[in-house]
């Protein structure tokens, strides 16, 4: 399934039905009064968060949504039927903005949460509603009001407790598959992960920790370089980060340099991102030629205030220790909510 996390749609609420001008025409009532019914209200456009939806792909194929009009009033004081509301389902975590003003209309972060994004027009009153002691036979009625219409920007931000960040090929997809039930496609080339992946790490205490694997970042990601920038919004909702670095090969960059570069991109995108608590994970120790590097990195990150865990995702060395650190981080961020 193609992952789509941004879309633009047009919504139009139903117009209200017109009021009716009518008079009683009963055989034995020669001076029958007004009997025009009111028009029905137009249907609203309502957006609701549905956990069964995973992406905004549907909105790439259909962009215009229109609720039903209210029916017109009729004689014998019959009111028009209300137009049916239009329900639009979106994934949990969808932010809805007014495309013209940029104003956030709603942030749907809970299952079933909903918002009326366009209100249906009010139905017009029939002439029976205008009868008074001084105007016994009004021959006019109201037209129904127009329903609201607007363009909306939809933006999906995944909801996860922790997010995995790092350079392409650091092993993020493998890490989430080791920690959770997620099964991302993994291959030996840059930008393996083309879409965020959610996994659930289950603890012995029965807790479920939701972890997001974010596509690899590169230098300049905050300015739109590579794929990572498009998905940085998904890290915004996480409460903490698992920062994965490759410590096996210095041909491209030093581990510390890689760590600082990613944090720099996070800060450029949003200062709050770089301030999230992090665990630093050094991967690929199974092919590390000099293991004294592990102690040097532990010292460096300890001085920075970050827990550091060295692992091999290939051999599973260090995974139990990493899981304990993840649980610690999870409990820490939960306490600070």
The residue-averaged pLDDT of 71-96 equals 96
State whether residue 266 is helix, strand or coil.
helix
- DSSP secondary structure, 130-163, as one string: G--SS-SS----PPPPPPPEEEEEEEE----SEE
220: CB partners within 8 A, 6+ apart: 226, 265
Would you say residue 228 has pLDDT above 50? no
Tell me what pLDDT residue 97 has.
97
- Residues written for the chain: 337
CA angle at residue 244 from 219 to 158, to 5 degrees? 80
Is the C-alpha dihedral spanning 224, 230, 234, 236 positive or negative? Answer: positive
Q: Which of 117-131, 178-192, 257-271 has the highest mean pLDDT?
A: 117-131
On the CB side of 82, CA atoms within 13 Å amount to: 9
The residue-averaged pLDDT of 54-63 equals 89
Q: What percent of the chain has pLDDT over 90?
A: 54
Q: Which of 164-168, 286-290, 321-325 has the highest mean pLDDT?
A: 321-325
Residue 233's pLDDT band, with cuts at 50, 70 and 90, is confident
Domain with CATH 2.70.210.12 in the chain: 1-156
- DSSP secondary structure, 292-320, as one string: HHHHHHHHHHHHHT--EEE-BTTTTBTHH
Q: Which two tokens stand for residue 75?
A: 């004689």
Tell me what pLDDT residue 313 has.
92
- Selection from 211, 89, 215 nearest residue 154 by Cα: 89
CA angle at residue 139 from 137 to 141, to 5 degrees? 120
Q: Which two tokens stand for residue 331?
A: 């409990």
Q: Are 318 and 171 within 8 A, CB to CB?
A: no
Tell me what pLDDT residue 198 has.
79
Domain with CATH 3.40.50.300 in the chain: 162-335
Q: Which two tokens stand for residue 255?
A: 């581990």
Architecture of domain 162-335: 3-Layer(aba) Sandwich (3.40)
Secondary-structure class of domain 1-156 per CATH: mainly beta
CA angle at residue 185 from 233 to 221, to 5 degrees? 30
d(CA 81, CA 68): 10
């Amino acid at each position: 399934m193609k992952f789509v996390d941004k879309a633009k749609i047009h919504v139009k609420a139903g117009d209200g039905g017109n009021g009716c001008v009518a008079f009683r025409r009963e055989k034995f009532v020669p001076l029958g009064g007004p009997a025009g019914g009111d028009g029905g209200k137009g249907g609203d456009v309502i957006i609701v968060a549905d956990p069964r939806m995973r992406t905004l792909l549907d909105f790439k194929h259909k962009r215009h949504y229109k609720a039903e009009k209210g029916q017109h009033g009729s004689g014998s004081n019959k009111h028009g039927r209300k137009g049916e509301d239009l329900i639009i389902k979106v994934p949990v975590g969808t932010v809805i903005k007014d495309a013209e003003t940029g104003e956030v209309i709603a942030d749907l972060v809970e299952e079933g949460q909903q918002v009326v994004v366009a209100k249906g027009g009010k139905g017009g009153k029939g002439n029976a509603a205008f009868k008074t002691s001084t105007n016994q036979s009004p021959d006019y009625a109201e037209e129904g009001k127009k329903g609201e219409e607007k363009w909306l920007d939809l933006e999906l931000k995944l909801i996860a407790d922790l997010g995995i960040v790092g350079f392409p090929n650091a092993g993020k997809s493998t890490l989430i598959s080791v920690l959770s039930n997620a099964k991302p496609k993994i291959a030996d080339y840059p930008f393996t992960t083309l879409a965020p992946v959610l996994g659930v790490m289950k603890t012995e205490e029965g807790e479920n920790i939701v972890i997001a694997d974010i596509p690899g970042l590169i230098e300049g990601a905050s300015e739109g370089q590579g794929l990572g920038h498009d998905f940085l919004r998904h890290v915004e909702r996480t409460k903490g980060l698992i920062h994965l670095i490759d410590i096996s090969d210095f041909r491209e960059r030093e581990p510390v340099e890689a760590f600082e570069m990613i944090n720099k991109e996070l800060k450029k995108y949003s200062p709050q991102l770089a301030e999230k608590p992090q665990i630093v994970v050094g991967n690929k120790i199974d092919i590390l030629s000099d293991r004294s590097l592990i102690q040097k990195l532990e010292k460096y990150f300890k001085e920075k205030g970050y827990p550091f865990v060295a692992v091999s995702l290939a051999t599973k060395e260090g995974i139990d220790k990493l899981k304990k650190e993840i649980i610690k981080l999870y409990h820490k961020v939960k306490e600070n909510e």
